[in-house]
Amino acid sequence: MDYRWRCQDAQGRDIPGDETLFTGQTEAEDWLRETWADLLAAGVDQVTLLHGEAEVYGPMSLHSA
């Protein structure tokens, strides 16, 4: 099973787009660390890490606290 990020707007609606799959959680987290600003600029407000269809954690805001 692969890991992936569910991207959502501020109202919790899914934002469609290319879905990048990762073989491990660390790989997925590294990708997010490198691309969160681009996601935010594209209208993503929050993300949830999924393993298959199970939520690992989230939703997590991309906005600074």
Mean pLDDT of all residues in 3-22? 93
How far is residue 40's CA from residue 43's CA, in Å, rounded to a whole number? 5
Q: Which CA distances in Å does 7 have to 11, 26, 59, 60, 64? A: 11, 18, 9, 10, 17
The reported pTM is: 0.92
**Is 65 a residue whose pLDDT tops 70?**
no
pLDDT digits (tens, 9 = 90+) for 30-62: 999 999 999 999 999 999 999 999 999 999 999
Who wins on pLDDT, 6 or 18?
6
